[in-house]
């Protein structure tokens, strides 16, 4: 696992906690300063900047509203389950499986994009504090 992937996993772990973005950044700053040298931090920041700058409008929408984007797929899953049970049609369970898979994939994608953005903000904050000292 390279440095960028390790940092994204750290950010994903931080996203699971209910706190403000500033608090998450502060906690990540401590972890990053202990685990990653400055040169690797700068390289990771450049990589994340390039990745997020090249994001399509769909990616930015999924990053901001991942639950709203996944909602129709959850609806398809629920409708497939409802029709499969009520009409005794086992073939309708395919829609349930497809809807759950699509919704889960969209939410996981949005979660990863949010973690990348959080890590980029953290690395920029670290860079800003290093250059002002």
Give the domain extent around 18. Answer: 3-132
pLDDT tens per residue across all 133 residues of the chain: 688 999 999 999 999 889 899 999 999 999 898 888 889 999 999 999 999 988 899 999 999 999 999 999 999 999 988 888 888 888 888 989 999 999 999 999 999 999 999 999 999 999 898 888 6
Number of domains within the chain: 1
Cα–Cα distance measured from residue 55 to residue 63, given in angstroms and rounded to the nearest whole number: 10
Q: What tokens does 80 get?
A: 């497939």
Cα–Cα distance measured from residue 116 to residue 57, given in angstroms and rounded to the nearest whole number: 16
In the chain, how long is the greatest CA-to-CA distance?
A: 69
Cα–Cα distance measured from residue 116 to residue 129, given in angstroms and rounded to the nearest whole number: 20
> CA-CA distances (angstroms) from residue 20 to 16, 35, 118?
12, 23, 11
What does the pLDDT read at residue 133?
A: 66
Confirm if 96 and 77 have CB atoms less than 8 A apart.
yes
> CA-CA distances (angstroms) from residue 35 to 2, 47, 93?
13, 18, 46
Confirm if 101 and 76 have CB atoms less than 8 A apart.
no
What does the pLDDT read at residue 35?
A: 85
Per the rule left: phi > 0, alpha: psi between -120 and 50, beta: everything else, 88 is: left
What does the pLDDT read at residue 57?
A: 92
């Amino acid at each position: 696992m390279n440095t960028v992937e390790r940092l994204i996993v750290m950010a994903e772990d931080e996203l699971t906690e209910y706190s403000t973005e500033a608090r998450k950044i502060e906690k990540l700053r401590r972890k990053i300063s202990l685990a990653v040298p400055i040169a690797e931090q700068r390289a990771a920041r450049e990589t994340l900047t390039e990745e997020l700058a090249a994001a399509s409008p769909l990616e930015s929408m999924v990053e901001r509203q991942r639950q709203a984007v996944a909602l129709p797929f959850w609806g398809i899953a629920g409708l497939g389950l409802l029709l499969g049970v009520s009409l005794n049609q086992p073939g309708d369970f395919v829609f349930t499986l497809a809807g759950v898979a699509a919704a889960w994939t969209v939410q996981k994608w949005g979660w990863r994009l949010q973690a990348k953005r959080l890590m980029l903000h953290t690395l920029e904050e670290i860079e800003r504090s290093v250059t002002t000292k």
